[in-house]
Amino acid sequence: MSDKGSLLEWFGKRRESLVTKAIREHAEKVGDTASELNRAISAMVKGDDASALDAIKRLILSEKEADRMEEMISEELSKGDMESKEREDLMHLIRRMDYIADWAKEAGLNLQLMIEVKAKVPGHLWKRYAEMTAELEKATKALRQSIDALGVDNDGVIKYERSVEVSEHILDDMYFSTKKEIFLASELDARAIFLMRDILHGIENSSDKCKDSADILHILVISQRHKAQVR
């Protein structure tokens, strides 16, 4: 970097710059996709298909906006004064975050198809899915808090990053037990089994990408601390 500072200092000094502002907004849009997915699934618990479809529409819009911001951030980073390795790490982070939204959209589209084909699903399964998407929403909020702390409060970055990790472990456990419930539910027809499995897969992958993003934040903070110690 031209100012000889660390990546975290770069964030701290330039928090109002176009790129740092856009990264925070990107994290917010990604979080919105998880929130809308949770709203859609929660509507299914109540048997409210119309509200679920409305939430899916908002999810898709948020995902498109996150995509647009990812492209803009990548372009701006390529013009900046950051060292190539640190620029690469940051772009890697943004890409991983975008995958969170991509997989949330995948789950939302499969839910939309489920409503369109009018496949019947027992309420206890929708409740189970609502618990999972609530945990996913919690993880994306912690990830956003971790990004907000970048360059300002390194201990905060680690604290929130660990919250993401805890949520991912909870979702991992729920994934397998929910998968078992799907295959044991005798009232599900083949279409419902297929689509419920794909929705579950979308939630699980979105959670995995959330943890991947948090891992990158952890590495960024630890590596910058190490650099500061050897200066």
pLDDT at residue 14, rounded to an integer: 56
* Residue of 182, 204, 203 lying closest to 193 (CA atoms): 182
Q: How far apart are CA 195 and CA 192, in angstroms?
A: 5
pLDDT at residue 82, rounded to an integer: 67
Task: Give me the residues of the chain with pLDDT under 50, please.
Answer: 1-4, 15-16
pLDDT at residue 2, rounded to an integer: 42
Per-residue tokens: 228: 């500061």
pLDDT at residue 187, rounded to an integer: 84
Q: How far apart are CA 205 and CA 103, in angstroms?
A: 6
pLDDT at residue 1, rounded to an integer: 44
Per-residue tokens: 65: 């906006």
SS3 100: helix
At 69-86, the pLDDT tens digits run: 999 888 887 776 667 777
Neighbours of 190 (CB within 10 A): 8
Q: How far apart are CA 116 and CA 100, in angstroms?
A: 25
pLDDT at residue 81, rounded to an integer: 65
Backbone angles phi, psi at 208, to 5 degrees: -60, -40
